[in-house]
Amino acid sequence: MESMSWDELRLILALAREGSLLGAAKVLGVNASTVGRRLDAVEDLLGVRIFDRTRQGVLMTAVAEQMIPFAESAELAAAGFLRVAEGFDREVEGLVRLSAPPGVASYFLGTRLGPLLSLYPKLQLQIDAETGYADLSRRETDIALRGHRPQSGDLISVRLGQDVLRVCGSPAYFESVGKVTSWSQLRWITWGPRMAHLTDITWLMERVPPSSVILRTDSIEVQIRAAEAGIGVVLLHSTMQQATALQALTLPPPLQKELDVLPLGELWLVGHRALRDVPRIAVVWDAIVQGAVFPVDPRAL
C-alpha cells in the first residue's frame, strides 16, 4: 500500500468534522467536486469505504470512526512540528493570526494596531472576528481574546480585566426619554435568537415586554450603530461603551440594583505555550498585555 500524505488525512478530518462535501470544501479551500474526487481516490488507495454518501451529507463508517483518533494525533503532531520550527524565529516578521469577539475586534484590534505595525514593518496580522472559539491546539489561530479562561490544552492565559454592564444610548435619546423609572420605558436593541441563551438577554427578557425590543441583531456593531443613531438603548460592558459615542444611563437605585445582579464580564488573552516566545507572536502578546491595544485593568495581571 502506498503511504498517505498529510493532505489526505486533512481531507478525512474535514469530512468527519463538517459532515458534508461542501463543508469540507470550504475548510480545505477547494470545491465540493474536488473533495469528492479526492475521497474516491483515498478510498481506492486504502481499499475500504470511509464515508457513506447521503442526500444530507456524509456519514462516517465504522472504519472512519477508528481512523479519526489516529488522524487527530497526526494533526497535533504536525502542529507541534511546526511550533518547534517557528520557535527558532529571530526577527519580528511574518503572519500572526488573532481571534476575538466581533466587538473587541472592531473597536480595539481594528483601530489600535497601527503603531505596532509601524514599529515592525515585516509583521502581518490576520484578525478573525468570530463569536465561536478558534482552536489554538489545531493552529486555527495564534492568539485569542476570549470571554472565558480555557480549562484544557497546553495553553497560557492572562486575564485582561473585568467589566460591568451598562445601559447605553445616545445623549439625544436619553434627553427624549427623560427620567427613567422602569425598564419598559426604554426602547431596546439586543441580540437575535441565535444568542438568546446569553445571561444578559435572559435577564432583559424577564424585565421588558417583547414590544419594547425594537431591534434584534447578532451583530454587536449594528447594535452600537443603531444606538448611536438614537434608535434605542443597548447593554454594553463599560470598556466597550467608552470606545463608542454612547453614554451610560444613570439609573435610579432600584434599577441599578437589578442591573448589578448580572455577572462581571471578563476578557482573557490566550495562546499556545510553545508559541509564546516566537518573536512575532511575543510582540503582539506584549502589546495587548501592556494595554496598547485593549485598556487593561492592572488589577487583573
- Among 41-45, 272-276, 295-299, the range scoring the smallest mean pLDDT is 295-299
Percentage of the chain lying above the pLDDT 90 cut: 49
How many separate domains does the chain show?
Answer: 3
- Both 270 and 191 in a single domain? no
Q: What are residue 188's phi and psi, to 5 degrees?
A: -110, 145
Sequence-ordered list of residues with C-beta below 8 angstroms from that of 269, at least 6 positions apart, any chain: 143, 144, 145, 157, 158, 159, 160, 285, 288, 289
Tell me the per-residue pLDDT of 107-160, one tens digit each, with 9 for 90 and over.
Answer: 888 888 888 899 999 999 999 887 666 777 777 889 999 888 887 777 889 888
| Exposed e or buried b per residue across 192-223, where buried means at least 16 C-beta atoms within 10 angstroms of its C-beta | eeeeeeeebbebbeeebeeebbebbeeebeeb
Q: Which of 39, 57, 86 is the last residue of a domain?
A: 86
Domain that holds residue 77: 6-86
Q: Domain for residue 14, yes or no?
A: yes
Tell me the per-residue pLDDT of 27-72, one tens digit each, with 9 for 90 and over.
Answer: 888 899 999 999 999 988 888 999 999 888 999 999 989 989 888 8
- Both 144 and 280 in a single domain? yes
The whole-angstrom separation of Cα 284 and Cα 120 is: 10
Kindly tell me if the per-residue pLDDT of 220 is higher than 70: yes
How many helices (H) and strands (E) are present in the chain, helices listed first? 13, 12
CATH number of 68's domain: 1.10.10.10
User: Do residues 180 and 252 lie in contact, with contact meaning Cβ atoms separated by under 8 Å?
Assistant: yes
Q: Domain for residue 1, yes or no?
A: no
pTM over 0.75: no
Q: What are residue 55's phi and psi, to 5 degrees?
A: -65, -25
